[in-house]
Structure 1
Amino acid sequence: MENLYGNPSFSLLLFLSLHLLVVSSLYQRFSPVDNYLINCGSSDEVSVDGNNRKFMGDSVKSDSVLMCGTRTISIRDSNPDLGLSPIYHTARVFTKPSKYEFEIRDKGTHAVRIHFHQLNSAKYDVSDALFHVSVNGFLVLSNFTGYDNENARIKEYLIWVDAEKLVIGFIPSKRSKFAFVNAIEVISAPKDLIADTAQFVNGDSVENFDGLTKQALEVVYRVNVGGPKVTPFNDSLWRTWVPDEEFLKFSEGSSRVYTSGRIRYQMGGASREVCPDNVYNSARVISSSNATVPNHNITWGFDVVEGYKYLVRMHFCDIASIAIGLIYFNVHVDGHLVYKDMDLSYITNEVLSSPFYADFVVDGDSSGVLTVSVGPSSKSFPYAVDGILNGVEIMKLNNSMGSLDGEVSVEQVLKNWPRGNIGVSVALFASVCLLLTASLLMHRRRVGVKDSVAWSPLPMDISKGNLKSNNQFSCGKVECS
């Protein structure tokens, strides 16, 4: 038998094949056009996530990023935790309204992540911070402290940008307070990340919800159902997905499943940028082990705020069935049936391990809890999988005020800031004027007394006057002479 490994043609073919494989993998990896990673309060460039993402210090001059503001101070942790990412060792402090401006080359949806963490500084105690944050005209945080005793707080938003700049503003809530930030990420998102239309769940009816891409979205939950935590290192968009255990409300008869096989992405379906392999290759399922189909669902619950709409994205990938056409189940959101007899084989063109996601918009109600469920349908088979879910994302939509945090707009916040300053300045100026006026009157009164005493005619006859008074007059006259 011919030794192919010694054949130069085979070696060249092998080299080209490996080269094409590497090039192909490089092309498949998402590379955002706009990719700003800012290490606030520092002039140093630092790497994070173990994948060589470099955060540039905001003290370094840049043509693409502009920091506008007066009275900004950089602070550094005097006793940094070496186990923490270096982006949390420094911070930028703002004592007046200030902003960062980012040059945008790729118009469309952008992911914005803002990082906060406590640090030990002799200049500022970050637990005293209280401030608002705006992103491109949307108020994303109101009267925010940014403080957590142990963990970093990462606020993530998806913002549509059709201008040449994206602007992030920091506004102290009061003159006695300040704002701070440790790091900022601004990344142009893949074009398929947010579809413009979702299904609006309105009671028992489901209708189209259009214009989703133009809404400001806050990522509230990102959950890897049935699997472990997924870190930014294992996600092409550098996201974090948490396990689902703490959100499970009812899981009787459910189990977790995993696959080490390939996830088969298809055109028109979910992509790796929408959701990574590490989420689709695990799931939680409900199935029957005998001739009886279960009559209950798996249910997850998430705390939400009343008065906002929420985008619920549910990720499905059939990694549990042994053949196509064996899985049918119902999907519920907030107790409403939103998908009856879901047939993943039909949706994915009869391809197992092919991912798919569904978007629903619901109102956050007075219960303060949003639920999602999967479970058997009337078409479910015995001895088969009767429900599956791989991942869940829940995002808050801005309200009519353009806010993601309260019934207040950016315009109102900015309007109140200078008015507060002017009011204080006017009051201070008025107080100074009153003090000066009072001082002047008292001075004039004293001067008037001295003048009248000094220049009053002395009595010609001592008997007509009082000796003490004459002495006073004389003293007064002497003092003024």
Structure 2
Amino acid sequence: MSDRGLKIFTCALSILSLASLCCGFNPVDNYLIDCGSSSDTTVGDRVFLADNSTSNSLSTPKNIFARASTSVTSSDYSLLYQTARILDGTSKYTFSIQQPGRHWIRFYFYPFVYDSYNMNRAIFHVSTQDHVLLSNFSVNSNVVKEFSVNVTSTSLEIIFTPSSNSFAFLNALEVVSIPDALITDDASTFDPLGTFQGLFSQALETVFRVNMGGPTILPENDTLGRTWVPDQDFLINENFATNISKISAVKYVEGGATPDIAPNAVYGTATVMKSGDDPRSNFNVTWQFNVDPGFQYLVRFHFCDILSKALNELYFEVYIDSSIVAKDLDPSILLQNILAGALYMDFVTPLNDSKNKLRVSIGPSSIPNVLPNAILNGLEIMKMNNSLGSLSGSAPLLSDSRSKKNVGMIVGLTAGAVIAVVVAAIMFMFCRKRKKLAHQGHSKTWIPLPVSGGNSPTVGSKYSNGTTVSVNSNLGYCIPFVAVQEATNNFDEAWVIGIGGFGKVYKGVLNDSTKVAVKRGNPRSQQGLAEFQTEIEMLSQFRHRHLVSLIGYCDEKNEMILIYEYMENGTLKGHLYGAGRPSLSWKERLEICIGAARGLHYLHTGYAKAVIHRDVKSANILLDENLMAKVADFGLSKTGPEIDQTHVSTAVKGSFGYLDPEYFRRQQLTEKSDVYSFGVVLFEVLCARPVIDPTLPREMVNLAEWAMKWQKKGQLEQIIDPTLGGKIRPDSLRKFGETAEKCLADFGVDRPSMGDVLWNLEYALQLQEVVVPGDPEENSTNMIGELSPKINNFSHVDNSGLAAQSETSSVDDLSGVSMSKVFSQLVKSEGR
């Protein structure tokens, strides 16, 4: 084929591909019913069949067709609101499903009075075989409720159940197939970062579908019959935003959205920052939505850069509530540098039992030399069913096929009521005991901990003046609450240095001018209680210069407070990315890794039974003013297996991106789980990027997987932190990469011990600092014994960060340690 012929053929293929993208979806199942109507009703290009059509099966105690006495003109779909089907008793629609998969279910409600039925007063439930869609539902104006459910059988049942002394009604109904690609099985999560899997089995309710910067889009202008509403009513500050429109510029490209995801009328309009190209602009454009507490939500963002005139002009941040879900986002880059390409991103929110507002924001990036701006084209918020399979409370499932299960439910509830009475009696006795403890000045939530063995002493026997606390205070004793108040200026909000899952962290100053960090927990949190106890128990047992130390704790006035000494340079994570701190040199990074490895090695070997940290990550490695590393946060720590056992069986806990996959699969915890997490930290140190970053291309999202690909290709230098370019000796990098790779072995038995990791890191440091000419085995671990100092007494280090020779015992290792350089990891930037 000639070059001309090849070009024509390629062009034809492109046109065919574009045409396929633009074709509307043709649903296999397409049931449209005008309820209560005796004739078909045409709305736009769609025909709603009469209610007595044989295309659907309705079983109901009474056939009551209602017609409004006056003409209804409430919306463009007003023809559907002229009639209604009244369901005076449990009723069931049954639809034959030709193609299993996700289907729309849309209900049209418009209440009016017919005969003795006042539809404004109707209260009822609606469910399918598997999910509750509406419970105790009532309506006083025209409403369209849209759901999508994954139908796995050959029939779909929709059951209407009136509440006691009431009835149900319905004006119109849709059951329509949805493209499989519309809702995939997974989505990104945040707080913590990770991936949610299992959307296929979820029932979803469309709560909001918004066309940013554009007008209402009616179903006839959407390939899937959806309605999109303008965003003005949701903007918190309209003065911060402006609208743009460029529908003709929208491109649907491979790897991006399709017209079925959203029409070009959505991608071709947008709300953007009203920055006026002012480089000093620094604000977010925010929308607020009312949501029901007790549910998770699937939030879908639609992006299309119709703002920029060239590539690499637009970078911005995207937020859900206070969490950044996309940082330095450039939609064009994600679509292989195609400007104005349609793109969507999905996120699943955490479960929140109390919040009834959800905020979405866009704002400027912190990338230098980029004008501040941000864009959002469309937004969808979909409620996900709860653990009961319900999208609206806990109304029972009413399918006939579940009648036997309902009998079991009744029996279970009866038995549960009996058990509840017994539990209530026990709790009553327990509460009386707690009240007695409370009168003695202790927490109402937990019992004071004797951390030093024996009984917890009274405050009076420890502090003569009641408020004087200094760094020399004996560890293991309670610190008075008034002293903690004094140290933190009565918990001054201006002194907050971090907020985490346990609670707020305050900077404080003791009477002798020693800086402290005060972690104030939430006494009502049972998880917080467990971590509080574990932290005290662990830190009261061991001492090491590369582990944080605890000054004391407070258990008065229903408080859970831990007091640590302040660590001047914060977390390792803060120095690697996101905190605006100076970049660390390669030598400094190696010495930090060596110090952290020493601390973990001590945990694993310093006692008769190993202590497994279980939450090793860069945010839990702290740095003093000399950048000496200390491992922190022992709230999840676990005592290792007995001598005759290989592992501890326990529930999986830790942080996404750092979790040992073998521990995750088998729930069997060993010291090698810490080794795996530390291997992730090593790559994090080398690449200076988050371990999970959903804004990156799919193959780069997980740092461990991405770095391992480059390591196995022998090209690790391609992905290192750019600030380290040309500053790492090849041999040092090679040894470091080999060490991280061994830590990330799939099976724990194939991973090195922390002692071996420590030796390899010290060797990598020596390779960085000295050249060994003509060494044929410079990468062999056999050389460690010759080049590295002995690590028998691993807990003592000199200023170079290498192990120092010592003849004394290292178990307590308090010599030469300034207590003002320590405090436990407090800022919880990742969840657990």
Aligned to 1:473: none
Q: Secondary structure at the match of 1:218?
A: strand
Residue 47 of structure 1 and its aligned partner are, at CA, apart by 0.3
Distance 1:385 1:292, change over 3 A: closer
Q: 8 Å contact 1:403–1:409 — kept in the other structure?
A: no
Aligned to 1:226: 213
Residue among 61, 65, 70 paired with 2:61: 70
1:370 matched to 2:358: yes
For 2:207 and 2:49, locate their aligned partners in 1 and report how far apart those are by CA, in whole Å: 27
Residue 386 of structure 1 and its aligned partner are, at CA, apart by 2.0
Q: Secondary structure at the match of 2:220?
A: helix
Give per-residue Cα distances to partners, 1:262-318, cap 9 Å, x unaligned.
421012211111111111111011264456242211111111111100111111000
1:401 matched to 2:388: yes
Q: Secondary structure at the match of 1:346?
A: helix
Distance 1:254 1:45, change over 3 A: same
Query: Counterparts of 1:323-402 in structure 2 under 5 Å?
Result: 323-362=310-349, 363-379=351-367, 381-382=369-370, 384=371, 386-402=373-389
For 1:39 and 1:375, locate their aligned partners in 2 and report how far apart those are by CA, in whole Å: 45
Give per-residue Cα distances to partners, 1:146-189, cap 9 Å, x unaligned.
332xxx21100010011001111100111x21111011001100
Q: Secondary structure at the match of 2:69?
A: coil
Give per-residue Cα distances to partners, 1:311-339, cap 9 Å, x unaligned.
11111000000101111111111110111
Aligned to 1:276: 263
Aligned to 2:149: 159
For 1:380 and 1:329, locate their aligned partners in 2 and report how far apart those are by CA, in whole Å: 12
Residue among 255, 263, 270 paired with 2:242: 255
Task: Looking at secondary structure, tell me which structure has more helix per residue.
Answer: 2
Q: 8 Å contact 2:84–2:171 — kept in the other structure?
A: yes
Residue 400 of structure 1 and its aligned partner are, at CA, apart by 1.0
Distance 1:287 1:91, change over 3 A: closer
Residue 27 of structure 1 and its aligned partner are, at CA, apart by 7.7
Distance 1:412 1:191, change over 3 A: closer
1:39 matched to 2:34: yes
Distance 1:142 1:83, change over 3 A: closer
Q: Which amino acid aligns with 2:105?
A: V
Query: Counterparts of 1:120-131 in structure 2 under 5 Å?
Result: 120-131=113-124
Q: 8 Å contact 2:127–2:398 — kept in the other structure?
A: no
Q: 8 Å contact 1:251–1:297 — kept in the other structure?
A: no
Aligned to 2:186: 197
Q: Secondary structure at the match of 1:278?
A: helix
Q: 8 Å contact 1:287–1:387 — kept in the other structure?
A: no
Query: Counterparts of 1:425-436 in structure 2 under 5 Å?
Result: none
The more displaced of 357-366 and 76-85 is 76-85
Query: Where does structure 1 lack aligned partners over 5 or more consecutive residues?
Result: 1-16, 420-481
For 2:283 and 2:73, locate their aligned partners in 1 and report how far apart those are by CA, in whole Å: 48
For 2:368 and 2:229, locate their aligned partners in 1 and report how far apart those are by CA, in whole Å: 30
For 1:59 and 1:228, locate their aligned partners in 2 and report how far apart those are by CA, in whole Å: 36
Aligned to 2:176: 187
Distance 1:161 1:223, change over 3 A: same
Q: Secondary structure at the match of 1:127?
A: helix
Residue 120 of structure 1 and its aligned partner are, at CA, apart by 3.8
Q: Secondary structure at the match of 1:192?
A: helix
Aligned to 1:173: 163
More RCO (CA 8 Å, sep 6+): 1
Aligned to 1:433: none
Q: Secondary structure at the match of 2:313?
A: coil
Matched residue pairs, number?
A: 388
Residue 408 of structure 1 and its aligned partner are, at CA, apart by 3.4
For 2:278 and 2:47, locate their aligned partners in 1 and report how far apart those are by CA, in whole Å: 56
For 2:181 and 2:195, locate their aligned partners in 1 and report how far apart those are by CA, in whole Å: 18
Q: Secondary structure at the match of 2:95?
A: strand
For 1:359 and 1:187, locate their aligned partners in 2 and report how far apart those are by CA, in whole Å: 23
1:109 matched to 2:72: no
Residue 412 of structure 1 and its aligned partner are, at CA, apart by 11
For 1:188 and 1:221, locate their aligned partners in 2 and report how far apart those are by CA, in whole Å: 20
Residue 123 of structure 1 and its aligned partner are, at CA, apart by 4.3
For 1:206 and 1:217, locate their aligned partners in 2 and report how far apart those are by CA, in whole Å: 22
For 2:281 and 2:358, locate their aligned partners in 1 and report how far apart those are by CA, in whole Å: 24
Residue among 47, 52, 64 paired with 1:59: 52
For 1:164 and 1:137, locate their aligned partners in 2 and report how far apart those are by CA, in whole Å: 14
For 2:241 and 2:200, locate their aligned partners in 1 and report how far apart those are by CA, in whole Å: 35
For 2:227 and 2:86, locate their aligned partners in 1 and report how far apart those are by CA, in whole Å: 27
Give per-residue Cα distances to partners, 1:334-393, cap 9 Å, x unaligned.
1101111112221011111111111111134523111111111122644x4621100111
Distance 1:290 1:91, change over 3 A: closer
Distance 1:290 1:155, change over 3 A: closer
Scaled by the length of structure 1, the TM-score of the pair is 0.76
Residue 143 of structure 1 and its aligned partner are, at CA, apart by 1.0
Distance 1:397 1:25, change over 3 A: closer
Q: 8 Å contact 2:247–2:265 — kept in the other structure?
A: no
Higher Rg of the two aligned structures: 1
Give per-residue Cα distances to partners, 1:186-242, cap 9 Å, x unaligned.
11001211111011222xx21100011210000000111111111112111111111
Q: 8 Å contact 1:109–1:158 — kept in the other structure?
A: yes
Query: Where does structure 2 lack aligned partners over 5 or more consecutive residues?
Result: 1-11, 408-832
For 2:274 and 2:67, locate their aligned partners in 1 and report how far apart those are by CA, in whole Å: 54
For 1:92 and 1:351, locate their aligned partners in 2 and report how far apart those are by CA, in whole Å: 51
For 2:179 and 2:296, locate their aligned partners in 1 and report how far apart those are by CA, in whole Å: 23
Task: Looking at secondary structure, tell me which structure has more strand per residue.
Answer: 1
Aligned to 1:210: 197
For 1:54 and 1:355, locate their aligned partners in 2 and report how far apart those are by CA, in whole Å: 31
Query: Counterparts of 1:69-88 in structure 2 under 5 Å?
Result: 69-81=60-72, 85-88=78-81
Q: 8 Å contact 1:287–1:293 — kept in the other structure?
A: no
For 2:92 and 2:155, locate their aligned partners in 1 and report how far apart those are by CA, in whole Å: 12
Q: Secondary structure at the match of 2:236?
A: strand
Aligned CA RMSD, in angstroms, stands at 2.6
1:236 matched to 2:223: yes
